Structure 1
Amino acid sequence: MPEIPDLNIFNKNLSKRLVGKTLDTITILVPRRLKVPESDLKEAFEGQQLVAIRREGKELHFSFKNGRVLGLHLMLHGTMFWYDKTNENKFTIVELLFSDGTGLAITDWQKAVIITLDPKPTKVPDAMDMPSGYLNTALKKISHPIKTVLTEGKIVRGIGNAYVDEILYEAKISPFSVANRIPEDKIAVLTKAIETVLTDAEDHIMQNFPDTITEKERDFLQVHRPKQTQTLAGEDILKAEINKRKTYYTESQILFE
């Protein structure tokens, strides 16, 4: 699943190529998860100039000149591809064709991609824009595993299964730790780890895949390494499931319970 580092790069590259252009047609090939009629999307967006694209948590929001917004959540296997006038990509969910012939195809063999019309705003802060001391207060009454808390989107937005393992490894906190049992000094370390891990990952992707709009290799990750038995530092990787999520961690991560 694309997470904050991936989506920030996607956002920059999509914006560079699409902002300022007029959307000619939007075509929904798989309406399985669409909550409004395709005609509503056509009425809202066709013939409108795209004025901005921004990331909101794990979503990309395409804002048009008339004030309407197209929300895109790529879910686990959603992928974006450029095309010129005619789309030949398999498993396409939606096509966006702009008036100059530039096309964007969103595909997903699982058919799980979510397209929304005018997504509702949320008060849950983005992982890269949390108020000072936010996690200290937010975690006090939560008795669930910290990995679950950081990924479910109710306390913080944008962190997924891969990068939460990286963040907890960086902070040296066990993913099984009970959220409200983590001491304040370690929450400060955790907060810093969120910023460090996500920023470093984005820098790596930008350096190695500067023009990408599709998720790339994650061989640079330290502990979330499904095909490996050791971290890049040589520690043994332990594997488990937490709330049906595959989890990778090490013995060096402290358990608070």
Structure 2
Amino acid sequence: MPELPEVAALADFLAERLTGRTVAKVRPVAVHVLKTFDPPPTALEGAAFTGVTRHGKFLDLAAGPLHLVVHLARAGWLRWRDALPEAPPRPGRGPLALRLELAGGGGFDLTEAGTRKRLAVYCVRDAADVPGVARLGPDPLDGAFTQEVFRGLLRGNRHRVKGVLRDQSVIAGIGNAYSDEILHAARLSPYRLAGDLTEEESTVLYQALDSTLRSAVERARGLAAGDLKAGKRLGLRVHGRTGEPCPVCGDTIREVSFADSSLQYCPHCQTSGRVLADRRLSRLLK
């Protein structure tokens, strides 16, 4: 799933290529991807893009008085194309969900792999009209996101810190992968309750959050859209690396699986050597 660093890089990539360009055609291929109907996405046709911004994990493409807001979800992606096929796309079982064509040639495809379709596209007059955008918590790369603000979000919170980091209404933009990376850098168990962290632990976590995200943004900066997924994987130290040695201590990276996701962690660095229960394997040790 694209998270804050990849979406930020996509926003920069698109701003460079779209600003000043005019929308020729918007072709929805999979009807389920459209989450709004008034105005219709075809209302963008003839408008020129004025900029591209990011709200958490949402892309916001401004064209005239309207905004095309995109959430790529778990398996969605944006594929830039300098040249598009002449024939219009046809609905079918393929991954193509929407195509946007630019006057003068080129454009992009929104695609989604797999059977669970969560890619979402909104055509709105104000990005805040998108419910997911309206519910977002503070952006962790905003200058106003200080250590004191972060401590206030944790204070009294009785949820596990892994879930708090992923909760978009608490902090915008962090998903499964970077929450694993942040907790590894902070040497904290994903099962710690956020409200139980000491002042020192919350300080370390804040610093790990800031450095992990900013490093990831720098790695992604300047990459073409097609290279962002591979670039993300190369930069991850624990997430998606079950069975590999921890790059810090050499212990084996472990996994806990859930219904539709999993987390990775290092027992030595994060849980004082204890292996967390993986319900998929019916382990009892926590």
Fold match (TM-score > 0.5): yes
Q: Summarize deviations over 1:99-119 as a string: whole Å, max 9, x none.
A: 111110000023321001223
- What amino acid sits opposite 1:253 in the alignment? Q
Other-structure match for 2:137 = 124
Candidates 147, 165, 174, aligned match of 2:189: 174
CA contact (8 A) 2:137 2:169 kept: yes
Matched, 1:183 2:183: no
- C-alpha separation in 2, matches of 1:4 and 1:123: 13
- What amino acid sits opposite 1:116 in the alignment? Y
- C-alpha separation in 2, matches of 1:88 and 1:225: 34
- C-alpha separation in 2, matches of 1:15 and 1:95: 17
CA gap 1:123/1:91 in 2 versus in 1, 3 angstroms:
closer
Other-structure match for 2:224 = 211
Other-structure match for 1:115 = 121
Number of matched pairs = 251
Matched, 1:196 2:202: no
- C-alpha separation in 2, matches of 1:115 and 1:4: 18
Shift of 1:82: 2.1
Other-structure match for 1:248 = 264
- C-alpha separation in 2, matches of 1:245 and 1:71: 25
Query: Which deviates more from structure 2 when the two are superposed, residues 143-152 or residues 30-39?
Result: 30-39
- What amino acid sits opposite 2:138 in the alignment? P
Give the match's secondary structure for 1:104.
strand
What TM-score do the two structures reach when normalised by structure 1? 0.89
Other-structure match for 1:76 = 74
- What amino acid sits opposite 2:47 in the alignment? Q
- C-alpha separation in 2, matches of 1:107 and 1:228: 31
CA contact (8 A) 2:242 2:264 kept: no
Other-structure match for 2:60 = 61
CA contact (8 A) 1:148 1:242 kept: no
- What amino acid sits opposite 1:131 in the alignment? F
Other-structure match for 1:19 = 19
What TM-score do the two structures reach when normalised by structure 2? 0.80
CA gap 1:254/1:108 in 2 versus in 1, 3 angstroms:
same
Other-structure match for 1:220 = 235
Matched, 1:91 2:95: yes
CA gap 1:141/1:98 in 2 versus in 1, 3 angstroms:
same
- C-alpha separation in 2, matches of 1:205 and 1:138: 28
Query: Which deviates more from structure 2 when the two are superposed, residues 87-96 or residues 168-177?
Result: 87-96
Candidates 146, 151, 166, aligned match of 1:136: 151
- What amino acid sits opposite 1:69 in the alignment? H
Greater RCO, 1 or 2 (C-alpha within 8 Å, sep 6+): 1
Other-structure match for 1:102 = 106
Give the match's secondary structure for 1:202.
helix
Structure with greater helix percent: 2
CA contact (8 A) 1:8 1:55 kept: yes
Shift of 1:48: 0.6
- What amino acid sits opposite 1:97 in the alignment? E
- What amino acid sits opposite 1:105 in the alignment? D
- What stretches of structure 1 of length at least 5 have no aligned partner? none
After superposition, the CA RMSD in angstroms is 2.3
Other-structure match for 2:275 = none
Shift of 1:123: 5.6
Shift of 1:39: 6.6
Shift of 1:16: 0.9
- C-alpha separation in 1, matches of 2:36 and 2:157: 35
- C-alpha separation in 2, matches of 1:226 and 1:30: 34
- C-alpha separation in 1, matches of 2:197 and 2:40: 47
Identity rate, percent: 25
